Amino acid sequence: MTRLVIATSNRGKIAEIEDLVCGMGFAVIGLSDLPARVDIVEDADNFEGNARKKAIAVARAAGCPALSDDSGLCVDALDGRPGVHSARYGGPGLTDGDRNRRLLEELTGVNEDRRTAAFHCAIAFSQPDGDIRTFNGILRGRISFSPRGDSGFGYDPVFIPNGFDCTLAELGMDVKQRISHRAAALSQFAQWIRTPGT
């Protein structure tokens, strides 16, 4: 089985990706499982740029393939914010709940029809030699007026996917694994990895 490093220390994200790549012949580990710390500055101005940077750095440091994900929430009424800064939105030291509260505060007075948003995900898969592929997924929806549900992580409690009346945190992991931006990007990765010669 090939070792695959998921270029994150976020246990929720590792578990989600591990579940989605199940059966592909990978033994999944996270950044914290590596013997040496890998510091990466996520300073690209788009999701794909950050994903590529992380995957290449981690694959080289670990000496085995690495899969990185850069994802975030883009809210139309906020001109696409928090975007690539989703994990750092509001400053350092904030919890997911803090960031959700800040987002809802910024949207105070914004009507439901203007609360449209989309989760974006870029997945990058890199070999230690720098050979890299990227895959992208989007989940469109809207921002709720209050946090709801206790499943998932990040902005899941305030994001209602199109076609649903519940937030991702209310829908639960089974549904999220089928419809999410990350699932869409990883589905493309799975199709590529299972098709020899591509």
Active site residue 165: no
Give the three-class secondary structure for 11: helix
Q: Which residue is catalytic, options 45, 70, 79, 113?
A: 70
**CA-closest candidate to residue 176, choices 164, 188, 190, 191:** 164
* Sheet strands side by side (includes 2-6): 26-30, 2-6, 66-75, 116-126, 132-143, 159-161
Residue count of the chain, please give it.
198
* Whether 138 contacts 119, CB under 8 Å: yes
Q: Report, as residue numbers or ranges, the catalytic residues.
A: 70
